[in-house]
Amino acid sequence: MPLPRKGEGFNKDERMKSVAIVGFAESTLAPAKDSQADEMWSLNFAWSYDIPRIDRLFEMHPIWFLDACANSDHDAEHLEWLQKEHPFPIYMQGDFSKAHEYDGLLKNDPLRIPSCVPYPLEEVYKLFKNFKRMGKSKPYLTSSICYMIALAIVEGFEKIELYGMQMAVGTEYFYQKPGAEMIIGLGMGLGIEFHTPENCTILNSKLYHEGAQMINRQTLELHAEKYRIERDAALGARNLISGKVQILLETGKDRSDPQVKELMLQMQTHERVSYICDGAIQANENSIKSIDFEDPMIEIKDRYSMKDLDKKENQDGRPKRKRKRKASKSV
């Protein structure tokens, strides 16, 4: 498929073919409600956020990662939601529209995502044909947002709007920012227009000749310590609420009780904060290592590979139990 260029005429009325790509960052999400884009794409947990509409959804995490993460109620609900029929395609790394069995390596086995559509990786990789590493083309896709923008480029969208994404310094998504900015630059070179809210941090920096400065090591250490304090506070609050939930369950109430449900939601909020802080800490530590000319630390905390699933369960000494299914939210 030849790469599109602005002006090749995708709409007979000569109006620019447009797509709004919507993430979850509250600081830049609100303007999405006023978008007049032809399509609106979102990702991952979009069903649990106030997204105006979803025409396509992208879930680019590996299937084993989705399964391994389904320990918290929210992640388990997401996996249940994925396994239901939806009126829009869900782009994934492979075709999971039919039941697949993984020889017991997944807890949720067999697994079927009925609305799944395989993401066209090979077609998107062609965007990077002019970037060579040791003589071979090297794709550079650092986040789900990158995959979404790349597909919009391949499909010939002439205007791409970006909402609900920040990738700001001090967050777990900061390391994804260079890839997003690179793919935006590639699209701009093809004549595509990109629109972001005023306060979006993507391609938004003080010009070097106007006084842009490098962040120093001491500032990074202060950022890391700030997020350690915030993470520890979130975990402490989460554990306190967990104790309250346990007391309520022991007194005869179940998870459908309004008080229990409210406390569980509070627990999920504190868990999310702790995850974000963990990512921010690691991002700052990686930057410090870069300053010190050490290899950055890249790891997924509290996660384990497919091969370790059964082994870990046996080591914990707990029998395998089927997760109780519950109704999921609809988009």
pLDDT for 303: 39
- Select from 194, 163, 160, 148 the least CA-distant residue to 25: 163
Supply φ then ψ for residue 118, to 5 degrees: -65, 130
pLDDT for 294: 61
Start and end residues for every CATH 3.90.1480.10 domain found in the chain: 18-60+119-205
The beta strand positions in the chain, using DSSP E, are 18-22, 39-43, 56-58, 90-92, 116-118, 132-133, 136-137, 159-163, 193-195
Per-residue pLDDT 10s for the chain (331 aa) are 444 444 443 343 456 899 999 999 888 999 999 999 999 999 999 998 989 999 999 999 988 777 776 666 667 888 889 989 999 999 999 888 887 665 555 666 667 899 999 999 999 999 999 998 888 888 999 899 999 999 999 999 999 999 998 876 555 567 788 899 999 999 999 999 999 999 898 888 777 667 565 667 788 888 899 999 999 999 999 999 999 999 999 999 988 898 988 999 999 999 999 989 998 898 888 888 777 766 555 554 443 343 443 444 444 444 443 444 343 333 3
pLDDT for 100: 65
Q: Which CATH number fits domain 18-60+119-205: 3.40.50.620, 3.40.640.10, 3.40.1710.10, 3.90.1480.10?
A: 3.90.1480.10
pLDDT for 112: 84
Which residue type is seen at 70?
Answer: A
pLDDT for 206: 74
Cα(223)–Cα(286) distance, rounded to whole angstroms? 12
DSSP state at residue 110: S
pLDDT for 287: 81
- 32 contacts 52 by C-beta, under 8 angstroms: yes
Q: Which residue has tokens 């071979």?
A: 136
pLDDT for 308: 43
Paired strand residues for 51: none
- 22 contacts 32 by C-beta, under 8 angstroms: yes
Paired strand residues for 56: 41
- 86 contacts 115 by C-beta, under 8 angstroms: yes
